[in-house]
Chains A and B, each alone.
Chain A
Amino acid sequence: MTEIDEMSVKQLKKDIFLTAYHGRTEHAHLASAFSLVEILYALYVKRVMKFKVSDPEWRDRDRLILSKGHGALALYSSMAMAGFFPMETLKKSFCHPGSPYGGEPHLHDLDGIEASTGSLGHGLSIGVGMALASKIDDVKNKVFVIIGDGESQEGTIWEAAMSAKNFQLDNLTVILDQNEVQEMGTVEEVSGISDWTEKWKSFGWEVIVVDGHNLDELSEILASKNNINTPRIVIAKTVKGNGVSLIERRSDWHYRMPNKKQLKTFQDKLNITDSELA
Chain B
Amino acid sequence: MDPLKLAGRIATIEDPAPSQACLLRAVSTAYYALFHLLISEATLNWGRSEFRSEPGRIFDHGKMKNAAIQFRSALESRRKSSPVASKLHHVVDTFIKLQQHRNRADYGTSEEWNQSDTIEPIADVEAAFESWKGIRDESEAPAFLVSMLGTRMRSDHS
**A, B: real partners:** no
| Residue ranges of B at the interface with A (Cβ–Cβ < 8 Å) | none
